[in-house]
Structure 1
Amino acid sequence: MIEITPRLAIAEDEIAVTFVRASGPGGQNVNKVSTAVQLRFDARNSPNLPDGVKARLVRVAGSRMTQDGVIVIHAQRHRSQDRNREDAVERLVALIREAAYVAPPRRKTRPTLASKERRLASKEKRGAVKRLRQGRPPGD
């Protein structure tokens, strides 16, 4: 089991990992060894994710989620398969952890009387400064 939060975990058999050839620098090694990792996680059909987390995961994953509800993560930062696999799993855990967080609802607040008075006083002061700057015609 891969622990996401203390109350949420996913089974390791829900994750499909394939190794592909990495692009970019790496010399001859990049042409011989498949070090990049493509991780696939079927979020829509996962029995371990609550419905609310699944719904938020669609928004959080964005373009990393396919139409079928499968999250695809491509990791090739490191030169070894093991480190790339760990990196891909960590990124998946971070995505699910972000989707598992529910922001507390915003409570409506009203400005205090003192803050209203401060605002009106500053407006009055600013208006007075602008009135003093107005050019008065001579003899007025």
Structure 2
Amino acid sequence: MKNFSKELNFKTSRSSGAGGQNVNKVETSVTVMWNIAGSEFFNEDEKNLIQNKLKNRINAEGFLFLTVSENRTQLMNKNKAIEKILDIVNKALIIPKKRLATQPSKTQKQNRLDTKKKLSEKKENRRFKF
């Protein structure tokens, strides 16, 4: 995945939330940006699949954004961002198997009817008869 990580652009910013003295000085939050259309790592079919599955995460210019501020160091956040974006893209490339519709077997149909009949008889026996 070395070629893929060359296509990523990084931007740093100050993390929000508690953090003591460093929170206002050090830019530890990392935003990773990837231009899907300009990627040379994937073919057109894979790009279309990624764009369709991740359309809610892609902006109008065609960039996939991901921000990570879990750790206290910029390097750890950068590594985590690369890991997460790879995971997201790999999951988007998975094509689910088509489900084959099946019919219930004769035994299953018969068991269902038997169960219905038993329940019906049980309720019939509860009725008050004159």
TM-score normalised by structure 2 residue count: 0.90
Question: Are positions 1:99 and 2:92 aligned together?
Answer: yes
User: Is there any run of 5+ residues in structure 2 with no aligned partner, and where?
Assistant: none
Q: CA RMSD in A?
A: 1.6
Q: Is structure 2 residue 70 aligned with structure 1 residue 77?
A: yes
Aligned to 2:8: 15
Q: 1:132 aligns with which of 116, 125, 130?
A: 125
Aligned partner letter, 1:36: S
CA contact (8 A) 1:53 1:99 kept: no
1:37 to 26, 30, 41: 30
Unaligned 5+ segments in structure 1 are 3-9
Matches of 2:107 and 2:54, distance apart in 1: 44
Shift of 1:62: 4.8
Q: CA deviation at 1:12?
A: 2.4
Cα distance in structure 1, aligned partners of 2:124 and 2:80: 64
Measure the CA separation in 2 of the matches of 1:124 and 1:37. Answer: 64
Alpha-carbon shift at residue 100 of structure 1 (Å): 1.3
Matched-pair contact (CA < 8 Å) for 2:5–2:82: no
Contact map agreement 1:41 1:70 (CA 8 A) in 2 = yes
TM-score scaled by length of structure 1:
0.84
Aligned length: 130
- What fraction of aligned residue pairs are identical, expressed as a percent? 27
Checking the alignment, whether the CA contact within 8 Å between 1:42 and 1:71 is kept in structure 2 is: yes
Asked whether 1:90 is paired with 2:69, we answer no
